[in-house]
Chains A and B, each alone.
Chain A
Amino acid sequence: MADAPSGRSLVVDAVTHRYPSGALAVENINLDIKGGEIIALLGPSGCGKTTLLRIIAGFIAQTQGRIIIGDDIVDALPPNKRAVGIVFQNYALFPHLSISENVAYGLAARGIDKAARQREVQRLLELVQLPTMAERLPRQLSGGQQQRVALARALAIKPSILLLDEPFAALDKNLRLDMQIEVKRLQRVSGITTLIVTHDQEEALSMADRVAVLSHGKLEQFGSPSDVYDRPQTLFVNTFVGSTNRMPGVVVSADRTAAKVRLDAGAEIIARPAGGALSEGGRVTVCIRPEHLQFVGDETGFAGVVGMSLPLGATVVHEVTTADGSGVKVSQARIGETRALENGAAVRLAPLAPSLANAFPATL
């Protein structure tokens, strides 16, 4: 089986889903995913990630919109006809079947004869580095191993789309990292279009070609990891992905590319209007990430008093209280001699660059 299954494109076209109970779980979501891409669906608990995944797999019929795989509208197809592989959050291995029987399950359903099945199972178990576990039962495997089996089982049917629902949530940190690399490697080899559901932003940023950020069933932003991290389009994306300081202020003047904002903390800075045009005199929330703030010697920035300093290995995080009484975090790389800051020291802070301060219209 030399030919790698090539991933097909996946289009989620204006999909809305309302559960019979009345909960609007997914609201008008559009995603255009190219064949072979890895996409992360990122969002807080209850934002509709699993619901969207189950709609794509065919377990739930959406109330509105279409799912298109390759050139086919698949809405009328049951899950067993969609060629979509899925790895469940709890793995959902068949507890009464051995590992090899689990992996062979989809092949048997396709009527593939026993000899070919065994060859394929062996190949897949080698791919996920478990060639010696074939005869065990799922409960005799560790969590990470079960995870690999679930992956092998999903890959066995040569799906055109692979869906992973929080695949690494139950693993400890080191194992999670191993599995993330593993999945990425397998995805590169097989070229399968892959959708990973996660609420772990680091996972989304490190694994995915593009990240779709969801909140309350709506798509907030769909873009590359650097788009999402550096050029967030909504306040939600800016605060949910990575950590950020939220500083309230008033727009002094604004055009399409830059806005002068008077921060309540007491300085005028140039910020990027991130969520569309800003009106003069309007209140805004300026988001600046801790690593995008620097201590300045002159009078340009805003003033503050250093509180606690936390050395976190490669970086030091300083907590600074500003003039309006709010707290701001500043993260400094520890390269060579970093300036030692004493508790109570008066400092001035400014963003590294105007493009690194994002201004959003303040919501009431």
Chain B
Amino acid sequence: MGAAPASRDVTSYGMGLAAPLALFFLLFFVAPLLQLLWLSLHNDTAGLQWGLGQYLHFLTDPFSLGVLGSTLLLGAEVTAVCLVLGFPIAWLYQRVGPKLQTIIILIVLLPLLTSVVVRTFAWIVILGRQGIINATLQSLGIIDTPLKLLYTQFGVVIALAQVQMPLMTLPLITALGRIDPNLDDASCSLGAGSWRTFFRIVLPLSLPGIIAGCTLTYAAAITAFITQSLVGGGQMLFMPMYLYQQASTLQNWPFAAAISIIFLLAVLAVVSVFTTLGRMSRGYGGA
């Protein structure tokens, strides 16, 4: 809000300092993006003939649209799982002593501290036909034939949810920590039970955290190339792998470029839906 003259000084001062980063972005982000756009506007693989053919092809091809749809759906599912599991963790974090808080933070951060590849292979070990889950269920006599967990949508969602969990939990912890604990008490003393307090007070006030968490989780989940491909196997195709195949295997660079641009726009659309929702809800804007 109202920028004081002093803070304007600070921003102009900061601009100069930001120059190296700006240059970096210009060179390694904006320039390649423009090149990608330029490439996608060619109808032939050689890149000689201008046109919107690649986009037309993607948007009229049921297979391509299917891949886009299942990728966006995957993101939604992972985000939902992270939200449902992450919220109670964040809520718990704000209500336990400092020792337990440290343990919770450590558990939440652990996925970030291990390599993606190691983490993903661990999931293959857990979810596989002879994996931990199937072995346990079989030895308990609950199932006769192993369940198919690996190379399924379910497996991918679970593995991604674990990886992206910190991106959801950390903003939620921050948001919940900002809520004045007296509000809980006030609500309760006014006769509201825990559910009413949760839905009328805690949930709306943690909305900024929910939106930040969902945006981060969503963006990370749909672009998680390694986990998607390893846990999903060859059986499920999502946008990053599709893109990779077109570019690397089929050498169809203009089409791959068009896929990237469309994917980028789709992600931007979803993210802006999140932020608009947030801005529409009260208690978000202002100071």
Assess whether A59 is in contact with B185, with CB atoms less than 8 Å apart: yes
**B286 adjacent to chain A (CB < 8 Å):** yes
Selected A-B contacts with CB under 8 Å, 5 pairs: A59-B188, A79-B188, A85-B190, A88-B186, A109-B192
Are the C-beta atoms of B191 and A109 separated by less than 8 Å?
yes
Mask, A104-115, CB within 8 Å of B = 1, is: 011001100000
Q: Mark A76-88, 1 if CB is under 8 A from B, else 0.
A: 0011111111101
B contact residues vs A (CB 8 Å cutoff): 180, 182-183, 185-193, 196, 200-201, 204-205, 281-283, 286-287
* Interchain CB contact under 8 A, A109 and B189: no
- Chain A residue numbers with a CB within 8 Å of B193 are 80, 109
B281: chain A residues at CB < 8 Å are 96
Contact B180 A79 (CB under 8 A): no
| Distance in Å: Cβ of B73 to nearest Cβ of chain A | 31
- Judge whether A94 and B192 touch: CB under 8 Å: no
Residue of B nearest to A156 (CB): B190
Given A59-B189, A85-B190, A93-B186, 8 extra CB contacts under 8 A: A57-B185, A78-B188, A90-B182, A96-B204, A96-B281, A137-B282, A139-B286, A154-B189
Q: Do the beta carbons of B183 and A80 come within 8 Å of each other?
A: no
Q: Which of A54, A83, A92 has most B Cβ within 10 Å?
A: A92
Q: How far is the CA of A154 from the CA of B186 in the complex (A)?
A: 9
Taking CB atoms, residues of chain B closer than 8 Å to A293 are none
Residue from A58, A85, A95 in contact with B205 in the complex, judged by beta carbons closer than 8 Å? A95
Distance of A160 from chain B, by nearest CB (Å): 13
**Known pairs A88-B185, A90-B182, A109-B196; A96 contacts B283 (CB<8 A):** yes
Q: Which 3 residue pairs are nearest across A and B when measured between Cβ atoms?
A: A96-B283, A106-B190, A92-B182
In the complex with contacts A92-B183, A95-B283, A109-B190 CB distance below 8 A: yes
The distance in angstroms between the C-alpha atoms of A109 and B201, with both chains bound, is: 13
Known: A80-B193, A109-B196, A139-B287. A94 touches B188 (CB 8 A): no
- Residues 29-67 of A, flagged 1 when their CB comes within 8 A of B and 0 if not, give 000000000000000000000000010011100000000
CB < 8 Å neighbour of A79 from B189, B282, B283, B287? B189
A265 at the interface (CB under 8 A from B): no
